[in-house]
């Protein structure tokens, strides 16, 4: 089922590109890339079984229903259907429940696993904003582009980075106090940044600054973490290097918004912070961690 979901996602993504190449929207494509390619890859990489070899019920549910949710998400964009979008939203709710179940069974003792749990739980917000964009909901005077970019944010930064951080924590043997500080900043930042975008330019800049600083420390921790496979460390290291470049542009953009003199346009940031992150950060990190396959220290 793991490989079937991945293959189904790739087929749907290619079909979507074939159907929309004349009206290509990069932000929509980025959201769908996460839904169809990155979500099943992360599920395969981080799903767990119990000590007796049996799978949790929710794990069976999320793997079993993924193809239907993926089809619903694709059709939502193709037909501008809020009903299909709601199907993906409901599915992200199941993934959030799966993350919460992992946390409830284990508690907060293993912070790296909590980081993975948080990634799953944040994805439901991505599902909500995805549905809000497709359904053209009126939320706080946000235009369609802001709704879509918020969906991108929660399908990438809020979902994937906490999970990558958790996988790093499984391998990290030193600097655990530093890792703890970085992890909590990464886990709280998506909500604080979202609040800043909605209510306060000053809060947005401060939260983006702290988030940027934490990612630079994350890059340092990648260098200090022992890997069993050299190619895996090179891929994850390359991913973190590109991330440090793109996140710096985000800080510049946030500072421009604070001064009300934007250095980059939102369209520029979609390409710099969106497409480059998807190709240069997410893909090599996923390949690297898939090769490394770090095991959890906690036995469920």
Tens-place pLDDT, residues 84-93: 999 999 999 9
User: What CA–CA distance (Å, rounded) separates 248 from 245?
Assistant: 5
Give the range with max mean pLDDT: 89-103, 128-142, 258-272. 89-103
The answer on pLDDT for 3 being more than 80 is: no
Give me the mean pLDDT over the 128-136 stretch.
96
Which of 207, 189, 182, 186 has its CA nearest to residue 258? 207
Kindly report the number of other CB atoms within 10 A of residue 151's CB atom. Answer: 27
pTM of the entire structure?
A: 0.91
Task: Identify the weakest region by mean pLDDT among 26-30, 37-41, 252-256.
Answer: 252-256
Q: Which two tokens stand for residue 205?
A: 């800049």
CA 269 centroid distance within chain: 17
**Residue 106's pLDDT band (boundaries 50, 70, 90)?**
confident
**What is the structure's pLDDT at 277?**
86
* Beta carbons of 78 and 117 less than 8 angstroms apart: no
Write out the DSSP string of 14-63. Answer: HHHHHHHGGG--HHHHHHHHIIIIIHHHHHHHH----TTSPPPHHHHHHH
Task: Name the average pLDDT for the chain.
Answer: 88
Task: Please determine, for residue 1, whether its predicted confidence score (pLDDT) is greater than 60.
Answer: no
At residue 261, φ and ψ (nearest 5 deg) are: -135, 80
Q: CA of 56: how far to CAs of 68, 184, 202, in Å? A: 20, 27, 44
Statement: residue 295 has pLDDT above 70: yes
Question: Mind listing the pLDDT tens digit for each residue in 153-206?
Answer: 899 989 999 999 999 999 998 999 999 999 999 999 888 877 776 677 777 778
């Amino acid at each position: 089922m793991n490989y079937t979901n991945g293959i189904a996602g790739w087929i749907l993504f290619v079909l979507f590109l074939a159907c929309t190449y004349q009206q290509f929207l990069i932000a929509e494509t980025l959201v769908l890339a996460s839904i169809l390619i990155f979500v099943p890859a992360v599920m395969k990489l981080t799903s767990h079984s119990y000590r007796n070899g049996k799978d949790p019920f929710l794990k069976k549910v999320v793997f079993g229903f993924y193809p239907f949710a993926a089809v619903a998400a694709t059709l939502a964009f193709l037909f501008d259907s809020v009903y299909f979008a709601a199907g993906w939203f409901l599915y992200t709710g199941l993934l959030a429940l799966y993350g919460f179940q992992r946390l409830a069974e284990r508690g907060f003792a293993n912070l790296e696993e909590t980081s993975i749990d948080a990634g799953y739980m944040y994805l439901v917000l991505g599902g909500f904003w995805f549905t809000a964009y497709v359904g053209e909901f009126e939320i706080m005077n946000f235009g369609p582009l802001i709704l879509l970019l918020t969906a991108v944010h929660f399908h990438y930064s809020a979902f994937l980075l906490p999970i990558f951080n958790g996988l790093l924590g499984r391998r990290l043997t030193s600097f655990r106090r530093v890792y703890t500080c970085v992890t909590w900043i990464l886990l709280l930042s998506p909500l604080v940044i979202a609040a800043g975008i909605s209510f306060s330019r000053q809060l947005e800049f401060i939260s983006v600054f702290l988030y940027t600083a934490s990612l630079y420390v994350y890059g340092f921790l990648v260098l200090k973490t022992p890997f069993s496979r050299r190619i895996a460390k090179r891929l994850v290291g390359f991913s973190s290097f590109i991330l440090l470049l793109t996140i710096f542009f985000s800080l510049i953009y946030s500072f421009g918004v604070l001064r009300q003199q934007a250095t980059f346009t939102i369209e520029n940031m979609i390409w710099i912070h969106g497409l480059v992150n998807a190709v240069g950060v997410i893909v090599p990190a996923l390949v690297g961690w898939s090769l490394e396959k770090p095991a959890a220290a906690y036995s469920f």
